Amino acid sequence: MNVHESEKIAGTLVSLGYVATDDINFADVIVFNTCCIRDSAEKKIYAKIGDVKGLKRLNELLIVCVVGCMTQQTGMSDTLKSKFPFIDIVLGTSNVHLLGEKIKEISSFYLKNRKKIYEITDSSTEIVNDFYELRTSYPNAWVNIMYGCNNYCTYCIVPFVRGRERSRSPQSILDEVKRLLDEGYKEITLLGQNVNSYFSDNWNFAKLLDAIGALSFKFRLRFMTSHPKDFSSEIVDIMTAHKSICNFIHLPVQAGSNNVLKAMGRQYTREKYLDLISMIRNKIPDCGITSDIMVGFPTESDEDFFETLELVKAVRFTNAFTFVYSPRTGTVAQKMLQIPANIKKERITKLIELQNQISQEKSYEYLNKTYEILVEGVKDNDLACGKTSNGRLVNFKCGESKIGDFLNIHVDKVKASALWGHIENGRE
């Protein structure tokens, strides 16, 4: 989601006549697109903003902007002002569309008359989607279908910094997707904090997915993120009804114990999650399922953690993003009794080891089989990569001109857990 937001920011700058540079020393404008979901992300961004101070001394005309969800935290505007007085523009998540206007505004003043702009408004204001995007992920294009989140999981800062759920109109989404497919994009990924609660003009997510899946182009359709409490068999039926929709679901479980799930406010049980997995696998046996899993949430006992490991063993995710719980200001869990850092570290190490072992074992299921792969990138020496419909990355050799093509790749090697193959009917 943040990558796509950066594409919108880059597009705004290009439409003002700026060009991208790889060397920060030559920049006229620097925009920090921030994230505050975990403390580590926030610390990193502080360090990076600090690094710019010297550049500002060398080039007083440099415009430094900070946008993204970190700015939306209570009191953050003042913190940024006092820590980094050289910042010129701070915008919140719902007024980032004003970035171009604000840059134009301050660059039109002589230096001594330049004012600082700090505009943080309620994060739940209406959707403004008229950005010119500088897309950087061809053949994939990201498409926001909704913004914000209403779930208030007790550990999560997102609803505070991104506001209440707001869905875009189905017509504007369909128009955008058709335009992207006409332009030659081969994979569309629908984005939202919880796509399953999409609702606009009487369309729910199932109806939207069905309508996009039915578009008569050769393309792939993915979506993320799905919340287990809202994920339904109707979605899986629609996935099976359209060839374009990938056999892939990102379904964050967060924890395997009912005690922890309840304390997290996730609104489903371990049993309900496992039922969902069985339902999906009954209808789509080779469905790739990935997850987000957190360790060290307050109240997580050894037994609770053991249940997370047992769930991971039972489900056998294709892959999982694993996180150490990080207390976030203003959330319910921040006020609960915290787990010591050494226990969190032990748990995350065990969880990563287990998931790595499973991912590696699952890699062998692909060996000696042929898959349709969308070529996503080609590096030096024609070293290419692309994904199967169910989300596994495969490495193979092919020329750069093939980026965006669908190729049949025969997987002939598993190295660590990475898959390697060759183009079928003509080794390359």
83: left (phi over 0), alpha (psi -120 to 50) or beta: alpha
230 near ligand 5AD, rule: CB under 6 A? no
228 near ligand SF4, rule: CB under 6 A? no
* Contact code string over 95-134 relative to ligand SF4, x by CB under 6 A: ----------------------------------------
Binding-site member from 131, 203, 273, 323 for ligand 5AD (CB under 6 A): 323
CA dihedral 132, 135, 140, 142 (to 10 degrees): -50
Token look-up 């955008």 returns: 176
Instruction: Give the C-alpha separation, 263 to 317, whole Å.
Output: 24
156 near ligand SF4, rule: CB under 6 A? yes
Tell me if 409 sits within 8 A of 423, measured CB to CB.
yes
Min CB(348)–ligand 5AD separation in Å: 10
The option from ligand 5AD, ligand SF4, none interacting with 326 (CB < 5 to 8 A, set by class) reads ligand 5AD
Binding-site member from 139, 228, 252, 256 for ligand 5AD (CB under 6 A): 252
Q: Which is nearer to ligand SF4, 2 or 360 (CB)?
A: 2
159 near ligand SF4, rule: CB under 6 A? yes
Min CB(339)–ligand 5AD separation in Å: 12
Structure-block tokens of residue 273: 């999650």
Instruction: Give the C-alpha separation, 138 to 61, whole Å.
Output: 34
156 near ligand 5AD, rule: CB under 6 A? yes
Min CB(225)–ligand 5AD separation in Å: 7
Q: Which is nearer to ligand SF4, 63 or 161 (CB)?
A: 161
Amino acid at 6: S
Number of residues this chain uses to bind ligand SF4 (CB under 6 A): 10
* Among the residue ranges 237-245, 268-276, 322-330, 401-409, the one whose residues contact ligand 5AD (CB under 6 A): 322-330
Number of residues this chain uses to bind ligand 5AD (CB under 6 A): 12
**Radius of gyration for the alpha carbons in the chain, expressed in angstroms and rounded:** 23
298 near ligand 5AD, rule: CB under 6 A? no
Three-state DSSP state, 73: coil
The option from ligand SF4, ligand 5AD, none interacting with 149 (CB < 5 to 8 A, set by class) reads ligand SF4
Instruction: Give the C-alpha separation, 294 to 37, whole Å.
Output: 13
Token look-up 């919340």 returns: 227
Instruction: Give the C-alpha separation, 237 to 218, whole Å.
Output: 20
| Percentages of the chain per state (helix, strand, coil), in multiples of 5 | 40, 20, 35
Min CB(154)–ligand 5AD separation in Å: 9
Binding-site member from 4, 8, 38, 168 for ligand 5AD (CB under 6 A): 38
What is the CA angle 386-390-394, rounded to 5?
Answer: 30
The option from ligand 5AD, ligand SF4, none interacting with 38 (CB < 5 to 8 A, set by class) reads ligand 5AD
Binding-site member from 109, 132, 152, 364 for ligand SF4 (CB under 6 A): 152
276 near ligand SF4, rule: CB under 6 A? no
Other Cβ atoms closer than 10 A to 168: 20
Query: Given CA atoms 400, 401, 407, 412 in this order, what sign does their dihedral have?
Result: negative
What is the CA angle 84-89-95, rounded to 5?
Answer: 130
Q: Which is nearer to ligand 5AD, 328 or 392 (CB)?
A: 328
